[in-house]
Amino acid sequence: MTVALRALLTAVVPTFGLAVRCGDLELKVPDDADLVALADVAATGVHHADAAFTWPWTRGGPDRVRRNVLEHHWSLRSCAELNYWRLGLGIYRAERIVGIQSMVARDFPVLRSATTGSWVGASFHGHGIGTKARHMVLHLAFEGLGAREMVSEADTDNAASNAVSAKLGYELGGERLVARDGKPAVRQRWRLTREAWDARPDQLRPDVRLHGVTPVLEHLGISS
C-alpha cells in the first residue's frame, strides 16, 4: 500500500493510521498485500503438529489456511463499534510481516478492559518477537487507550504464551474448560492491572513509540 492510499484510508478508518514501534518491530493494520504475505507465513506453519487453536484455522492444506487468514482479517475491518471492536495488528520485523497481535474489547469506554491474542510464524520463533509484540500492545492499551486491565488466555500446554504473561507481570486468575479438536482442554486466564503495569521494573520498560492514537480514540468513543 502506498503512503498516499494509507492516508486516504486513515481519513475514513483511523485504525489504518495507527502504528506502534519498538526497535526493529512495528505493529500496524495490514493492507491486502501484507495479508497475502501473512497468509503465506501461516501456511508454512504456526505451531507444532500436536497443538491447535479453539477455532482450528491452521488445520487443512496450505490453501485452506491462506483462505482462513484472509477471510478472518477482512472480517475484522468491519468490526469497530463503540461497544465491540477487534483490532488485528500485523507484527512487522524489519518491515516484513511475521505474525499478528490482536486486541478485542467489549464496552471498552466503560470497562477499560481488553483481551489480547497473537501468533508468530514458526520460522520466526525463538527471537523474542512474541514477547516484544505483547509488550508493545500493552503499551498501546495502557498508555494510548487508557486501559484499566488487560487479559490474556492460553491453554495450559501453550508454554510460550503462559511464560510471556508471567514474565510481564500478569496474575493467574483462574481456569476453564474449552473444546479443542473435539477434546477438552484447560484454558488459563491471566490479568494485568494498570497498577501492576505502572509498577513494572525498568527492564520491562523498552522504548515504545505510538503514532496515530488520537483519531482512534475519537473513532472508538474513548475519552482521554
Q: Is it the case that residue 50 has pLDDT exceeding 50? A: no
In a domain, 159, yes or no: yes
In a domain, 76, yes or no: yes
Q: Is it the case that residue 49 has pLDDT exceeding 90? A: no
Q: Which domain holds residue 179?
A: 19-219
In a domain, 11, yes or no: no
Q: Residue 55 has what pLDDT?
A: 59
Choice between 130 and 51, residue whose per-residue pLDDT is larger: 130
Taking residues 158-176, report their average pLDDT.
93
Q: What are phi and psi of 68, to 5 degrees?
A: -60, -45
Q: What is the mean pLDDT of the chain?
A: 91
In a domain, 85, yes or no: yes
Q: Are the beta carbons of 110 and 118 closer than 8 angstroms? A: no
Q: Residue 7 has what pLDDT?
A: 85
Question: Which tens digits make up the pLDDT trace of 101-157?
Answer: 999 999 999 999 999 999 999 899 999 999 999 999 999 999 999 999 999 999 998
CATH number at residue 154: 3.40.630.30
In a domain, 3, yes or no: no
Q: Residue 59 has what pLDDT?
A: 75
Q: Residue 180 has what pLDDT?
A: 84
19-28, 90-99, 157-166: range with lowest mean pLDDT = 157-166
In a domain, 13, yes or no: no
Question: Which tens digits make up the pLDDT trace of 52-66?
Answer: 555 576 677 889 889
Q: Is it the case that residue 94 has pLDDT exceeding 70? A: yes
27-41, 75-89, 90-104: range with lowest mean pLDDT = 75-89
Q: Residue 60 has what pLDDT?
A: 78
In a domain, 41, yes or no: yes
What are the DSSP calls for the chain, one per residue? --HHHHHHHHHHSGGGG-EEEETTEEEE---HHHHHHHHHHHHT-SS-TT---SS-TT-S-HHHHHHHHHHHHHHHTT-EETTEEEEEEEEEETTEEEEEEEEEEESHHHH-EEEEEEEE-GGGTTSSHHHHHHHHHHHIIIIIS--SEEEEEEETT-HHHHHHHHHTT-EEEEEEEEEETTEEEEEEEEEEEHHHHHT--GGG----EEESHHHHHHHTT---
User: What is the domain count for the chain?
Assistant: 1
pTM confidence score: 0.92
